[in-house]
Amino acid sequence: MTDSKINIWIEAARPKTLAAAFVPVLIGAALAYSQNAFSLIPSLVALLCAFLIQIGTNFANDYYDAQKGADNDDRVGFTRATAKGLITPKMMMRATIITMGLAFVFGLYLVWHAGWVILLIGVLSLIFGIAYTGGPYPLGYNGLGDIFVFIFFGIIAVMGTYYVNALHWSLLAFWVSLPAGALSVNILVINNLRDIDTDGPAGKKTLGVIFGEEVLRWEYLLMILLSFAIPPHLFFRDHFGWLIFLPFLTIPLAVKLLKNIWQERKKAHFNKILENTAKFMVLFGLLFSIGLIFS
């Protein structure tokens, strides 16, 4: 495979969105470490599966959005390989199946390690990853994408990672999952805000298409506020130490991002805002995880 072909596949995997796979696993593992329940191999396998599911979902989105006409020549977002003819639909669907299949195979280790409940979580993650843009009722085309992302890339990913370490459920894992879910949603919010002009004509009814651009901007703000509300909750209700406030160091970056999305009107510029939103999620997740471990 030539370098140019490899670069096409890397771009199709949408590396800028992989923060939504990395940060939830990091937070779940950090909480387990703080509870003296961390296990390295299950955490690494959980991270690998998260990356594979995210990439498989991105491949499926590339395929189905091209089939439905959502990725057309008027689109201002990053290049979509299937729509541009860089990868054939058959090859993209094959890549989706292979990637999701690898996630299932590696996930069998977690089933062996932690029990059948992980099989249920894994299968549902794979199904909904495809159903985000495919199937008879695609979630992303019916205003349900944000809920899917919040649940699967937040609550389920963090709590599932904690479970494969500690081998029991924890209400605390639910609370620490909320920033991961909220910041994952914000990546989707920027994506939908950028593509709002082309999503509507293609029949893709995102929250932005249904309710308008301003609702997406308020949603972004709400998700930021939810993320910053969790460290005080852990400090006052769960007796974590002062280091749990480390994510507050990112407040200036959050303010800058909010200023950008409220003032920016050129849709092409939202590609950079999306990239910065993903970077913000990683930085917040790292500081939050450090706070969990050392508090």
CA pair distance 141, 202, nearest whole angstrom: 9
**Residue 198, pLDDT score:** 87
The domain locations on the chain are 3-294
CA pair distance 122, 124, nearest whole angstrom: 5
CATH number for the region 3-294 comes to 1.10.600
**Residue 77, pLDDT score:** 62
Q: What is the rounded average pLDDT of the residues 226-237?
A: 97
290 against 76, higher pLDDT:
290
Which residue's structure tokens are 């590609």?
271
Confidence of residue 119 (pLDDT cuts 50, 70, 90): very high
pLDDT for 240-266, tens place per residue?
Answer: 999 999 999 999 999 999 999 999 888
Instruction: Please say if the pLDDT value at position 120 is more than 80.
Output: yes
SS3 6: helix
83 against 209, higher pLDDT:
209
Confidence of residue 65 (pLDDT cuts 50, 70, 90): confident
**Residue 1, pLDDT score:** 62
Q: What is the dihedral of CA 198, 204, 207, 212, to 10 degrees?
A: 40
pLDDT for 5-53, tens place per residue?
Answer: 899 999 999 998 899 999 999 999 999 999 999 999 999 999 999 999 9
CA pair distance 290, 141, nearest whole angstrom: 37
Predicted TM-score of the model (pTM) = 0.94
pLDDT for 186-200, tens place per residue?
Answer: 999 999 999 998 888
pLDDT for 272-285, tens place per residue?
Answer: 999 999 999 999 99
Nearest to 113 by CA among 32, 27, 43: 43
Confidence of residue 76 (pLDDT cuts 50, 70, 90): low
Instruction: Please say if the pLDDT value at position 67 is more than 90.
Output: no
**Residue 173, pLDDT score:** 98
CA pair distance 196, 103, nearest whole angstrom: 31
Mark 280-292 as b/e (b = at least 16 C-beta within 10 Å): bbbbbbbbbbebb
Angle at 147 between CA 144 and CA 149, to 5 degrees: 105
272 against 65, higher pLDDT:
272
**Residue 265, pLDDT score:** 85
**Residue 26, pLDDT score:** 98
266 against 290, higher pLDDT:
290
CA pair distance 164, 187, nearest whole angstrom: 26
Instruction: Please say if the pLDDT value at position 230 is more than 70.
Output: yes
**Residue 72, pLDDT score:** 63
Q: What is the rounded average pLDDT of the residues 141-163?
A: 95
Are 263 and 206 in contact by the 8 Å Cβ rule? The answer is no
Burial grade of 279 (CB within 10 A; 0-12, 13-18, 19 or more): middle
